[in-house]
């Protein structure tokens, strides 16, 4: 099996395009709100402690956080490092990120609107600029070119996380039972492909697996907008399908709130460049 085999495998089952800016703008407020949840705080603390313990992050580090979202990882990096730069393609995500930087008075934290796939490292002066480059559950690392660019931006370490497996109790039921569609999941394939591609490129990727379970609660309206936006990344929804989703959410809601249980196995993939 050669590089092309794993490139092709990585692309199987994946949406042809990364969700557009509007998709992430619509999710930005919820992402920012969830940053204060216990599950998110625990996840951030675990990753931060791991990076510090393995010396991938230190007070002298310059860090690039690809797909920073509302900036909670970037903020924590800035607290421990010399410099942290977070990039994201969503204006709304970056608005939340900037507010956090101001609130914590982090002078060594910068945010920039960028789509990683279109970033030219030479123009940004980012070639071998960073001691640590992270992509934490970032859909922008989606093929060999974007992975190679991540490597090229680093002079020491890369740290990438992706779901090896994940179940979402409500979303999976909507897809499989309400809409009677085949679920779209390339999480395990993506992790498997990335590890093998890195090996074939001459790197020695380390992998740590982390099991998690958490609960998310949304209003019926928030849930409807969220699940529809997720499903529409694969195929458009008809008016009849929208009605079916609304009816299902109303049926399972309690006092107007929809509760979902998410279980995941996340792969932390990290390597020295």
pLDDT tens, per residue, the chain with 273 residues: 799 999 999 987 565 555 678 888 888 887 887 777 788 888 999 999 999 999 999 999 999 999 999 999 999 999 999 999 999 999 999 999 999 889 889 999 999 999 999 999 999 999 999 999 999 999 899 999 999 999 999 999 999 999 999 999 999 999 889 988 765 555 688 999 999 999 999 999 999 999 999 898 999 999 998 888 887 766 788 999 999 999 999 999 999 999 999 999 999 999 999
Q: What is the pLDDT at residue 234? A: 65
Structural domain contains residue 101: yes
Structural domain contains residue 161: yes
* Structural domain for 118, as ranges: 3-167+184-215+263-272
Q: What is the pLDDT at residue 184? A: 52
Report the CATH number that the domain containing residue 97 is assigned in CATH. 3.40.50.150
Q: What is the pLDDT at residue 143? A: 93
pTM, entire model: 0.90
Sign of CA dihedral 32, 191, 135, 140: negative
Structural domain contains residue 63: yes
How many domains does the chain divide into?
A: 1
Structural domain contains residue 240: no
Q: What is the pLDDT at residue 61? A: 98
**Residue 267: closest CA among 171, 123, 166:** 166
Structural domain contains residue 174: no
Query: Following CA atoms 147, 148, 149, 151 in sequence, which dihedral angle do they give, to the nearest 10 degrees?
Result: 90
Q: What is the C-alpha separation between 78 and 109, in angstroms, rounded?
A: 6
Structural domain contains residue 235: no
Structural domain contains residue 87: yes
Structural domain contains residue 69: yes
């Amino acid at each position: 099996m050669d590089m092309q085999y794993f490139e092709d495998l990585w692309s199987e089952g994946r949406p042809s395009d990364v969700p557009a800016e509007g998709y992430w703008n619509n999710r930005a407020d919820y992402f920012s709100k969830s940053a204060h949840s216990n599950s998110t705080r625990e996840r951030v603390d675990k990753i931060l402690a791991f990076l510090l313990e393995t010396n991938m992050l230190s007070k002298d580090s310059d860090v690039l956080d690809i797909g920073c979202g509302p900036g909670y990882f970037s903020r924590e990096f800035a607290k421990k490092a010399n410099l942290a730069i977070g990039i994201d393609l969503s204006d709304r995500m970056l608005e939340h990120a900037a507010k956090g930087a101001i609130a914590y008075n982090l002078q060594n934290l910068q945010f920039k609107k960028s789509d990683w796939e279109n970033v030219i490292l030479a123009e940004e002066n980012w070639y071998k600029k960073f001691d640590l480059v992270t992509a934490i559950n970032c859909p922008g690392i989606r093929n060999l070119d974007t992975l190679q660019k991540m490597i090229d931006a680093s002079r020491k370490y890369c740290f990438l996380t992706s779901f090896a497996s994940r179940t979402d109790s409500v979303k999976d039921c909507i897809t499989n039972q309400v809409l009677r569609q085949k679920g779209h999941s390339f999480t395990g394939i993506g992790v498997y492909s990335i590890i093998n591609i890195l090996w074939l490129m001459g790197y020695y990727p380390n992998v740590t697996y982390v099991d998690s379970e958490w609960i998310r609660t949304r209003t019926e309206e928030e849930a409807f907008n969220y699940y529809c936006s997720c499903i529409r990344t694969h195929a458009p929804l008809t008016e009849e399908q929208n009605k079916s989703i609304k009816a299902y959410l109303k049926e399972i809601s309690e006092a107007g709130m929809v509760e979902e249980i998410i279980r995941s196995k996340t792969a932390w993939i990290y390597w020295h460049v």
